[in-house]
Structure 1
Amino acid sequence: MTIEPSGGPPVPGLHADPLELATELPLSEDEAAYVEAARAPNTLRGYRSDWAEFTAWCTRLPRDPLPAAADTISAYLTELARAGAKVGTMSRRLSSIRFAHQLHDLPDPTTGARVVAVWEGIRRTHGAPPDQAAPLMPPALFDVLDHCPQTKVWKTRPPEPDLAGLRDRALLLVGFFAALRRSELANLRVEEISAHDRGLVLTLPRSKTNQRGEEHELVVLPRAGRRAHCPVTAVQTWLDAAGIADGPVFRKISRGNRVLDRALHPESINDLVQAAVARAGLPGGPFSAHSLRAGFVTYAHLRGASDRAIAHQTRHRSLATLGAYVRLETAWQDNAATQLGL
C-alpha cells in the first residue's frame, strides 16, 4: 500500500534511508558495518522501503518524521487503514519506524498510549487471516517436475541439457524435502552440503529463526525410492551439469544456457516456482515458493508424521505454528459433519 506524496517543504530530520542515521553517530567503519549486520538483508531492504514511504507521507503534510510525535504515528496508521493496507503491512511499517528511531538513539514513538489504542482498534477492525500459499505436494509436485524442460534445442548448435530445467527440478525437490524457506534456498552454498549414507545433510549457518548464527541448523535430504523424484539425484545432476563446485547452489542461467556466477534472489525463486506450476497447468493456488515448505508439512502430516518429527525438519520452534499449514487439508478428516448419514 503506497500513499503518494504531493510535494511540500523539506522537513527537518527527514532521512530517506534509516541506515544513513548510523553515519551521523560517532561510529567507526567497523561499528557501522556491524550496525548493518544486525539485521538480515531482506529486513533492511524492507526497512528502507517503509521508511521512505513514511517520510514521503510526512513531507506531504508536513510533519517531522524524526522524532515522530504520537499523533503523527496514529494519523499515519489511520490513513493506511482507510486506504486498505493490510494489518501485516502496517505492522511492518511500525517496526521500520521503531528501527529508525533506535538508530538515532531516540525514544520509541510506537509505544505511547495513543498509538497503542489506535493500533489495537485497527487490528480488531481490519484484522484478517494472512493469505496462505497453497501446499505443493505429491502427486501435483511430480506433475510440476515432469513439465520442467530437460533438453535445450538450438538452430545453430546440437541439443544440450536444459540447465534452467535441471536447476528448477533440484530447487523444487530440495525446497520440498528439506522444507526450506526461499531465502534459505537462495543462500544455500555447496560448502554447506555434506554426503551421508542415507543422502545429504545441509548445514544452514543462519535462518529466519537463527539470524545471529549462534548454532548451525542441520537439515536432512534423504534419497527417494524413485530416481525421478529423488532430491539427492536432482542436486547432483544439476551441480555436475552446471559445473558448480563451490559457492551458491542455485544460480541464474543466461539465455544462452550458461550458468552465471550469481545466486538467485529470493524473489526470483518465488517467480520460478510460480512459472513451474503454470507450465504444468496446475489448478488451485495461490502458489509461491512457500508452497514447497507448506507442502512438506501438509504431506508429512497426512502420512502420519508427528508434529515433533515435522518440526525436526522444518525447525519450527513452536509446534502450534504447524497447525496453520494443515487446517484446510485435514478439515474433512474425522469430522462429525461428514458422518450424519443425511
Structure 2
Amino acid sequence: MSHIDSIIASDWRSEFQRLEGAYAPATMRSYRADVEAFENWCVENGIKRPFPASVETVCCFLEDQGQSKASSTVQRRLYAIRKVHRLLRLTDPTYDEDINLAMRKVRRQQSIRPRQAKGLTRNYLDNLLDSEPATPWGLRNRAMLALGYELMTRRSELIALRNQDITERRDGTFRVLIRRSKADPYGQGRIAFTSKRTGDLLREWLACRGPTIEWLFCPIYRGSVIDRCLETTSIRSVIKEAARRCGLPPDQVASFSAHSMRVGAAQDLLAGGFNTAAIMRAGGWKSVNVLARYLEKAEHNVWA
C-alpha cells in the first residue's frame, strides 16, 4: 500500500460523515461499531493495516466473529467493511467467492432459530393497561401501549410520532401517519387508524401532557413532561414493568420485548381470520418470511 493509501485508510471516520442523512442514525452507529470491531480484531491478530483488507483477513475475521456473534451481526460487519473500502476508493475484497464461503460457514454453524419475542396479544394487553396507575406515567403508558398494538409499530416508529402525525376524526378515533420505518427508509409512510378505546386513552394523555410538547410520547421527570422523544429502550421497560405488576411468571416477563406489541397484534389478526396479505399491509411488512415467524404460535392456536 502506498503512503497516500495509508493516510486515506487511517481516516475512514471522517469519510463516514458522507453517509450522514443517507442512513438512519442507528445504522450509522452500528456501522461505526462494526468497523471498530474489525480494527480491534486486526490489532489483536498482529495486522498493522486493516485497510485495504485482504480476502484472507476478512474471511478469518468473519469466521472468528461467527463463533460468538449472530450471523446477522457478522453479515452487517461484512457490509461495514465493504462500505469503508468503497468510501476510501480502495480495492474491495468483499465480493470474492471465498467471502461467500466464509459467510456460508457462519450461517451453517449457527443453526439455532432466532429468538422470538412473546406476542403481547389482546388478553395480555388488556391486563397490562389495567395495571397502569392513575398518574401521568400511567396515562402515557396506557396510550402508548394501546397505540403501539393497534398500529403494529416498531419501537422506533412509535417514539418518532409527533403531534402533526395524528388527526382526530369525528367518530372519536385517530388517523395516524407513520412517516418512516425500517422497511420504508425514504419516508413514503403508511396510514393507520385507532379504535375508539385507544382514541379515548390518547385524548386523556394529550390533555395531561399539554399542547406545547412536540412529541406524542415524551419523558416525564418529577411529574413534568419534557419536550423530547423517549428512548427506544423505554418501551421495553414499560412492558416488562407492567407484566411484573400483573404477576406474570419471571420467564414470561423476560420473553416480552418492545417488539411484542407488533408480534401480538399480528397473531390476533390471524386468529381473527385475516389472511397473510392483509396482515402484511396492516403492519407494513415487506417479507412474508419474517411475518411467518410471528404467526407460528397463532397458527397453532387456530388449529388446536
Same fold, judged at TM 0.5 (above): yes
1:27-106 matches, within 5 Å, as 32=18, 35-63=19-47, 64-82=49-67, 84-106=68-90
Match among 253, 260, 271 for residue 220 of structure 2: 253
Structure-1 residue corresponding to 2:14: 20
Query: In the alignment, what sits opposite 1:233?
Result: 200
Check whether the contact 1:47–1:96 (CA below 8 A) recurs between aligned residues.
yes
Counterparts of residues 1-342 of structure 1 (less than 5 Å): 13-14=9-10, 19-22=13-16, 32=18, 35-63=19-47, 64-82=49-67, 84-150=68-134, 162-198=135-171, 199-213=173-187, 215-223=188-196, 230-254=197-221, 256-283=222-249, 284=252, 286-331=255-300, 333-334=302-303
**Counterpart-to-counterpart distance in 2, 1:44 and 1:71:** 26
Could you tell me which runs of 5 or more consecutive residues in structure 2 were left unpaired when the two chains were aligned: 1-5
Secondary structure at the counterpart of residue 39 of structure 1: coil
Q: What are the superposed Cα offsets for residues 131-161 of structure 1, whole Å, 9 maximum, x if unpaired?
A: 11000012111111111121xxxxxxxxxxx
Shift of 1:187: 0.6
- Whole-angstrom CA distance in 2 between matches of 1:102 and 1:244: 47
Q: Any idea what SS the aligned residue of 1:218 has?
A: strand
Deviation, structure 1 residue 240: 0.9
Structure 1: segments with no counterpart, 5+ residues:
1-10, 24-31, 151-161, 224-229, 336-342
* Alignment length (residue pairs): 293
> Deviation per CA, 1:231-269, whole angstroms, max 9, x where unpaired?
111111111101145521111111x11111221021222
In the alignment, the residues of structure 1 paired with residue 91 and residue 168 of structure 2 have an alpha-carbon distance, to the nearest angstrom, of 50
Q: Distance in 2 between matches of 1:334 and 1:137?
A: 17
Change (3 A) 1:107 1:130: farther
CA distances 1:163-214 after superposition (whole Å, capped 9, x unpaired): 111111111001101100000011111101012234111112211111112x
* Structure-2-length-normalised TM-score: 0.89
Q: Tell me the percent identity.
A: 30
Partners of 1:313 and 1:222 in 2: how far apart? 14
User: Partners of 1:330 and 1:245 in 2: how far apart?
Assistant: 45
Give the residue type in structure 2 aligned to 1:313.
A
Q: Is the 8 A contact 1:239 1:245 kept in 2?
A: no
Report the Cα distance in structure 1 between the residues aligned to 2:56 and 2:132, rounded to whole angstroms: 54
| AA aligned opposite 1:249 | L
SS of equivalent to 1:263: coil
Q: Quick one: distance in 2 between partners of 1:299 and 1:257?
A: 35
Distance 1:200 1:293 in 2: 19
The answer as to whether partners of 1:184 and 1:207 remain within 8 angstroms in 2 is: yes
TM-score (norm 1): 0.80
| Alpha-carbon distance in 2 for matches of 1:19, 1:274 | 37
* Separation in structure 2 between the aligned mates of residue 205 and residue 280 of structure 1, nearest angstrom: 33
> Greater helix share, 1 or 2?
2
Note if contact 2:214-2:228 (Cα within 8 Å) is conserved in structure 1.
no
